[in-house]
Amino acid sequence: MRCPFCAHAETQVTETRDSDEGFTRRRRRCLQCDRRFTTYERPEIALPAVVKRDGGRAEFDPAKLRTSMMLALRKRPVSVEQVDAALELIQEHLLADGAREVPSSRLGELVLGELKKIDKVAYVRFASVYRSFENVDEFRKLIRDI
């Protein structure tokens, strides 16, 4: 860690504290100018990029995913806590896979899996848009499978 005062490359950690907010606070002392300063460290969690059907790439956006799920869950008896838990599980799956990119189809299947557990009507709503049914028979098949 470089000293912010003299730019010397070597500093010594004199005190370390973990916070409840998920970061580590460190007091440091420069070995050249002897001045003290504080640094804060937090883990960087990198979710994979989403590869769209047309080949384009976009950053994973949990807010966008939440909006899609909430649209499917509109006027359904599902709590915000259930949606948050489902979103958390989806993100955990993505992190556990360890891939740097995830196809949008995989992301859609993860959402469908979570919606199927939460609310069957929302599952059908999301699937009808996500899978782009060509005819009524495909839609009937989905409903029969539930």
- Where along the chain do its domains lie? 11-41, 49-145
pLDDT at 99: 87
- Mean pLDDT of all residues belonging to the chain: 89
| Nearest CA among 104, 94, 106 for reference residue 57 | 104
Give the residue-averaged pLDDT of 2-28. 92
* Sequence-ordered list of residues with C-beta below 8 angstroms from that of 66, at least 6 positions apart, any chain: 83, 87
Position 44 confidence tier, pLDDT thresholds 50, 70, 90: confident
Count helices and strands in the chain by DSSP H and E runs: 5, 6
Residue bearing tokens 């640094």: 39
Residue bearing tokens 């915000």: 80
Position 77 confidence tier, pLDDT thresholds 50, 70, 90: very high
Give the residue-averaged pLDDT of 125-137. 77
Higher pLDDT, 99 or 15: 15
CA-based angle 91:93:94, to the nearest 5? 65
